[in-house]
Amino acid sequence: MEFLILMIRNGIRPNMFTYSSVLRSCNGLPILKQIHCSITKAGLESDVFVRSSLIDKYSKWGELQNALTTFNEMETSDLIVWNTIIGAFTQNNNGDEALNLFKRMKKSGFMSDQATLTSVLSAVTGMALLELGRQVHVHVLKYNNQDLILGNALLDMYCKCGSMEDARFEFTKMVEKDVISWSTMINGLAQNGFSHEALKMFQTMEASGSKPNYITMVGILFACSHAGLVEKGRFYFEKMETIYGIKPGREHYGCMVDLLGRAGQLNEAVKLIHNMEPGPDVVTWRTLLGACGMHRDTGLAAYAANRVLDLDPDDSGTYSLLSNIYANTQRWEDVEKVRRTMRGKNVKKEPGCSWIEVNKEIHAFIVRDDSHPEIEKIMREVNCYVKRLREVGYVHDTSFVLQDVEGEQMEDPLLCHSEKLAIVYGLMVLVKGKTIRIRKNIRICGDCHLFAKLLAKMENRNIVIRDPIRYHHFQGGVCSCGDYW
DNA sequence: GTAGGGTTAG
């Protein structure tokens, strides 16, 4: 930047090379907009290099509208600029638009390369759409079936779509594996509830001579915490620095807080938080809050919730959690207090939403939303299943019912949870034997978890539910999480 | 003889 200013002062006119170079070091949105202005003034906007750099930088600042405008105003495009705009939407969690652009790109006659396909795979991964992922896989095969980066992206896609069979198969087929391949598998197995397999894979990784890094260790500790392996987790946490030379960061401390908290060692967890070197952040406190909920420690829960709200005052999830915890211990005045605070701050509860992919179309179910064309039929089916499941031991777990002070008490709020609707819809429309795969925006409640377990057994169906942090594989009356999540 | 853009794991 300094040299650019010096250059202009010396009367030398910057050209497209100057601008695409200086854009690399652009570290603020106002500066980016200024540079964009001077590019326009200098009449250098038509250069594809300058354009793609601008698009990329706008996207890094979350300015998708500016990125798209810059893209659409181009007369000529090339493969890289297409990759840039597709990547922009992928990285900003707008997989839908990324896929639309990918279609547009193909229609314009461009052939995808490694960068296109990794972005598109990453978009599909974010949406957890397995059938779409398989379609992209075909494009990958046409491009290059031995590419390491694409192989890794495929592994991640299958893991995040909850199909470990596919992930394992692709992994064994890879001719070359790097630390990302191993870490993807370890994390994928752990998140899908196959903790022991994840730890076994770590041993295989070490035996093969690959060295774990920071992210690999996150996966290992995540596996330990979700399998309740307290001692093993402690072992890896202590040895990661001495043996592997990896300094524990927030994420590792977070896993340890989770590990101790789940195991009921709440005081140990608090001690760790107060002593952790990077200092706790929102995620750390939220983790502790989750553990307080599992162990019904309302006092500590209130403390943790307030630390979360110090750092993120509009976090509706935390208010809901806190209110749930108070409700579970019959502290109705406190429930009301939380509700009042939420109303005062105008914080809205995030509605639960579940998606299911049927014939490459996405069907979304939202609590209290009856816009699905077949909602009445689905509700009737849910009721039928509930009746039949009661005969095999299904009892409502009412500790998950939020007191609804806004009135309009639902006949049975648990019946309306979006995942129940999505699962039942899957049973109605998917061919017999096909795994039902659901993606949802908030974590599954105990009642829906039991519902899914019993239903999987009664209907002899595999059900996979992906929530924001992990997966549940329901099969034959049990879940891969071991009821520990 | 010299300068510039996009992609994978928590």
Which pLDDT tens digit goes with each residue over A410-466? 446 677 788 899 999 999 999 998 999 999 988 888 888 999 999 999 999 999 999
Does the pLDDT at position A328 exceed 90? no
pLDDT of residue A398: 63
Least confident of A38-42, A401-405, A430-434: A401-405
Is the CB of A432 less than 7 A from some atom of nucleic acid strand B? no
149-168 of chain A touching strand B, CB 7 A cut-off: 149, 152-153, 156, 160
A50 CA, B5 C1': Å apart: 7
| Helices A332-345 and A316-328, packing angle to 10 deg | 170
pLDDT of residue A349: 75
Burial of A213 (0-12, 13-18, 19+ CB in 10 A): middle
Cβ atoms within 10 Å, residue A337: 14
Specify the DSSP class assigned to residue A267: H
Average pLDDT over residues A183-212: 94
Q: What is the pLDDT of residues A94-150, one digit of tens each?
A: 999 999 999 999 999 999 999 999 999 999 999 888 999 999 999 999 999 899 999
Average pLDDT over residues A229-240: 94
Give me the count of residues in chain A: 485
pLDDT of residue A246: 94
Secondary structure class of A362 (helix, strand, coil): strand
Spatial CA neighbour of A132 closest among A295, A140, A242, A64: A140
Is the CB of A91 less than 7 A from some atom of nucleic acid strand B? yes
Within A214-360, residue ranges assigned H as helices are: 214-227, 230-242, 250-262, 266-275, 282-294, 298-311, 316-328, 332-345
pLDDT of residue A409: 42
To the nearest whole number, what is the mean pLDDT of chain A?
A: 90
**What pTM does this model have?**
0.87
Q: Which residue is nearest to nucleotide B10 (CA to C1')?
A: A215
Is the distance from CB of A217 to CB of A252 less than 8 angstroms? yes
Is the CB of A113 less than 7 A from some atom of nucleic acid strand B? yes
Is the CB of A214 less than 7 A from some atom of nucleic acid strand B? yes
pLDDT of residue A334: 87
- Element containing residue A7 per DSSP (H, E): helix A2-9
Where b means 16+ CB within 10 Å and e means fewer, A23-38 reads beebeeeeebeebbee
- Element containing residue A51 per DSSP (H, E): helix A48-60
Gap between the Cα atoms of A381 and A364, Å rounded: 17
Backbone angles phi, psi at A318, to 5 degrees: -70, -40
Contacts of A78 (CB under 8 A, 6+ apart): A48
β partners of residue A466: A439, A471
Is the CB of A225 less than 7 A from some atom of nucleic acid strand B? no
Contacts of A310 (CB under 8 A, 6+ apart): none
pLDDT of residue A351: 81
Q: What is the pLDDT of residues A257-295, one digit of tens each?
A: 999 999 999 999 999 999 999 999 999 999 999 899 888
Spatial CA neighbour of A242 closest among A215, A223, A217, A222: A217
pLDDT of residue A361: 83
Cβ atoms within 10 Å, residue A394: 19
Does the pLDDT at position A406 exceed 50? no
Protein-proximal nucleotides of chain B (any atom < 7 Å from a CB): 3-10
Specify the DSSP class assigned to residue A473: E
